[in-house]
């Protein structure tokens, strides 16, 4: 019954074999099934909105009771905090290379349909989930339903479907990461199964350590923001400029390349500071009040 053992077993028996696929196209069937699981999740959230007839109040035991909430805002209206994010950009180039007839127009159509579909699904999930619990909506929506009725068969099936969807998504995310590492560490080398398997195994070990050791998904989002934002805004543009512009046009000691190097260094400084604050926050166990700084 230890969830950590289950994570390791699922990683070895399901995720690792799927991560060994040579081409991303082989994962199309599993990706389609994971999307159907999320559609089931949305359907259950909409159903529960009309099944749970009134707002809920948290009782001392941690469960929720059907009762009017007493912590509304001063004007009597709940104010949600909007926010949405996508993690589709790492898959763009791998999917483009897997197309039978890769063109910018076809890739644009795929991007439009994918982003619109995911936005619509998660938008309605967030709306109906919030309209069910209002101010008691937790960061992980399914935990809120669990507090209402821990033995609800529908919610248990939804939790299983979400677990399956997330599990089947991991190999798709690992694929571009492995390809990027191969291009970075072994440029121009032919395909090699040993490197292919070793990188997948190392990535899965890192993912398992994060899942087991990090207590809350918000910490994962914090790490993602602390690493990807400086990379996209500061580090990668500077490195691309230094790499793309040939040295015979602009030597490394030229002013533009020195500025690009400083820009990149600034990104590494921001990343290091952000990660340091996150680690200190984990060690102290206290959440900083951002509004007080």
Checking if the pLDDT of 217 tops 80, the result is: no
Pair 142, 158: CB distance under 8 Å: yes
For the chain, the maximum distance between any two Cα atoms, rounded to a whole number of angstroms, is 73
Give the integer Cα–Cα distance in Å for 82 and 119: 13
Residue located via tokens 């690493």: 227
91-104: average pLDDT: 78
129 by Cβ neighbours in 10 Å (0-12 / 13-18 / 19+) ranks as: buried
Q: What pLDDT score was predicted for residue 198?
A: 93
Q: pLDDT digit string (tens) for 134-150?
A: 777 777 788 888 777 77
Q: What pLDDT score was predicted for residue 50?
A: 86
pLDDT top residue among 68 and 265: 265
Pair 111, 90: CB distance under 8 Å: no
Mean residue pLDDT across the chain: 80
DSSP symbol at 57: E
pLDDT top residue among 103 and 63: 103
Q: What pLDDT score was predicted for residue 43?
A: 93
Q: What pLDDT score was predicted for residue 56?
A: 58
If pLDDT is split at 50, 70 and 90, which confidence band does 227 have?
confident
Pair 173, 90: CB distance under 8 Å: yes
Dihedral pair phi/psi, residue 50, rounded to 5°: -90, -15
Q: What pLDDT score was predicted for residue 40?
A: 93
174-191: average pLDDT: 86
Pair 58, 64: CB distance under 8 Å: yes
Give the integer Cα–Cα distance in Å for 254 and 146: 60
Pair 37, 23: CB distance under 8 Å: no
81-107: average pLDDT: 70
Checking if the pLDDT of 97 tops 70, the result is: yes
Q: What pLDDT score was predicted for residue 205?
A: 92
- Enter the tokens of residue 154: 């529908």
Quick check: pTM over 0.85? no
| Neighbouring residues of 144: CB distance < 8 A, sequence distance ≥ 6 | 64, 129, 132, 133, 136, 137, 138
Q: What pLDDT score was predicted for residue 157?
A: 92
Q: What pLDDT score was predicted for residue 265?
A: 93
Checking if the pLDDT of 128 tops 60, the result is: yes
Q: pLDDT digit string (tens) for 234-283?
A: 898 889 899 888 888 888 888 888 999 998 999 999 899 988 888 887 77
């Amino acid at each position: 019954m230890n969830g950590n053992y289950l994570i390791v077993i699922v990683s070895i028996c399901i995720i690792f074999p799927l991560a060994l696929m040579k081409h991303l196209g082989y994962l199309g069937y599993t990706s389609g099934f994971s999307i159907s699981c999320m559609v089931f999740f949305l359907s259950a959230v909409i159903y529960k909105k009309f099944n749970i007839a009134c707002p809920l109040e948290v009782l001392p035991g941690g469960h929720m009771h059907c009762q009017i909430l007493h912590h509304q805002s001063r004007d009597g209206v709940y104010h949600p905090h909007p926010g949405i994010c996508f993690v589709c950009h790492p898959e763009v180039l791998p999917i483009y290379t897997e197309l039978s007839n890769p063109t910018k127009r076809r890739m644009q159509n795929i991007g439009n349909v994918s982003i619109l579909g995911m936005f619509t699904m998660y938008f309605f999930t967030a709306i109906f989930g919030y309209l069910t619990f209002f101010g008691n909506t937790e960061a992980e929506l399914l935990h809120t339903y669990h507090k209402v009725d821990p033995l609800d068969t529908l919610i248990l099936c939804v939790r299983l479907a979400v677990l399956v969807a997330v599990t089947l998504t991991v190999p798709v995310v690992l694929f571009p990461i492995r390809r990027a590492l191969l291009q970075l560490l072994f440029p121009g080398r032919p395909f090699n199964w040993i490197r292919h398997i070793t990188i997948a195994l190392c990535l899965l070990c890192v993912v398992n350590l994060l899942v087991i050791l990090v207590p809350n998904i918000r910490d994962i989002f914090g790490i993602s923001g602390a690493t990807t934002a400086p990379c996209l805004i500061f580090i990668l543009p500077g490195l691309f400029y230094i790499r793309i512009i040939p040295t015979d046009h602009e030597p490394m000691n030229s002013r533009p390349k020195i500025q690009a190097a400083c820009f990149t260094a600034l990104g590494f400084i921001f990343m290091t500071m952000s990660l340091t604050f996150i680690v200190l926050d984990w060690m102290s166990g206290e959440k900083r009040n951002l509004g007080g700084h």
